[in-house]
A and B are shown apart, each in its own frame.
Chain A
Amino acid sequence: IQMTQTPSSLSASVGDRVIITCRASQTISNYLNWYQQKPGKAPKLLISAASSSQSGVPSRFSGSGYGTDFTLTISSLQPEDFATYYCQQSFSSLYTFGQGTKLETK
C-alpha cells in the first residue's frame, strides 16, 4: 500500500492553522497513524486510528479521515511544533509510511 503525503514541506508561522494530508493507494479503513519527528530523535506517536489523540499530546493536534483520505490538523502552530510529520498505515502486514512533511518557520 502506497501512502502519499502532501505537502512535502510547509512554511508557516506561529499561530497558523496547518493541515497535512495523507492518501492511501487503497482503502485502509482507519488503520492510519501520525508521528512527529524532531532532528536526532525517534518518531513520537501523535494520533492513532486516524483520529485518536495520544495521552499527553496537545489538543491543538487532531486527525480525521477514513478509507483512503486522511488529514492531520494543527489548529494553532506553536514553536515546538516545527518538526517533520509522517503518516503510517498498519492495515497491511507490510507497513508503509508517507514521505513526510517538514514544517519550517516562515
Chain B
Amino acid sequence: EVQLLESGGGLVQPGGSLRLSCAASGFIFRNHAMHWVRQAPGKGLEWVSRITGYGGNTYYADSVKGRFTISRDNSKNTLYLQMDSLRAEDTAIYYCAQDVVGATTPVSTLTWGQGTMVTVSS
C-alpha cells in the first residue's frame, strides 16, 4: 500500500523559511516522479512543483518559482520542499503526491498524502 507522510509544517513569519518532507513507502520511490500540491484555506487545489524520478528535472508554478526548491533523496525514499521568502499567500495545506503513469495509457494521475499545514503570519 502506498503511503506518503508529510511533515515539517508549522507557523513561520513572512520572509522566513521552512522545509517540508514527505516519507514514501509501499512503492519503488525512484521509479516515480513526485509532486507538491497546495490548498489555501477554503480555496482550490494549486499544483506547486514536480521532480522526476532521479531528480534530473524540476518544474515549478510561477507563483513559487525562485523561492521554492523541490528535491529528493532516493536512498531515503524522501521528497523535500525548501520554501524560502515565504509570504502570507503561501499559507496552505501542502500535499505530497506520487505520479502514477497509467497501466494502459500514458496519462499520469496523482496519489496523495494527507498533507501538512503551513501558516505564514507575524
A95–B44 touching, CB < 8 Å: no
Alpha-carbon gap, A100 to B46, bound state (A): 11
Closest beta carbon of chain B to A7's beta carbon, Å: 14
A100–B109 touching, CB < 8 Å: no
Residues of B contacting A: mostly: strand
B45–A94 touching, CB < 8 Å: no
Most B C-beta atoms less than 10 A away, residue of A86, A90, A94, A100? A90
Hey, which chain B residues are within 8 Å of A32, CB to CB?
107
B107–A97 touching, CB < 8 Å: no
Hey, which chain A residues are within 8 Å of B50, CB to CB?
93-95
- Residues 43-61 of A contacting B (Cβ, < 8 Å): 43-45, 48-50, 52
Contact with B along A79-93 (1 / 0, CB 8 A): 000001010101001
A94–B111 touching, CB < 8 Å: no
Classify chain B's interface size.
Answer: 20 to 34
A52–B47 touching, CB < 8 Å: no
Interface locus among B7-15, B21-29, B72-80, B112-120: B112-120
A43–B44 touching, CB < 8 Å: no
Hey, which chain B residues are within 8 Å of A48, CB to CB?
102, 105, 107, 109
Within 8 Å of chain B (Cβ to Cβ): is A96?
Answer: yes
Hey, which chain A residues are within 8 Å of B104, CB to CB?
52
Alpha-carbon gap, A84 to B39, bound state (A): 13
Could you list some 24 contacts between A and B, CB below 8 A?
A: A30-B107, A31-B108, A35-B45, A35-B110, A42-B95, A42-B113, A43-B110, A44-B112, A49-B102, A86-B44, A88-B110, A90-B107, A90-B109, A93-B50, A93-B59, A94-B50, A94-B60, A94-B61, A96-B47, A97-B37, A97-B44, A98-B44, A99-B44, A100-B45
Residues of A within 8 A of B (CB): 30-33, 35, 37, 42-45, 48-50, 52, 84, 86, 88, 90, 93-100
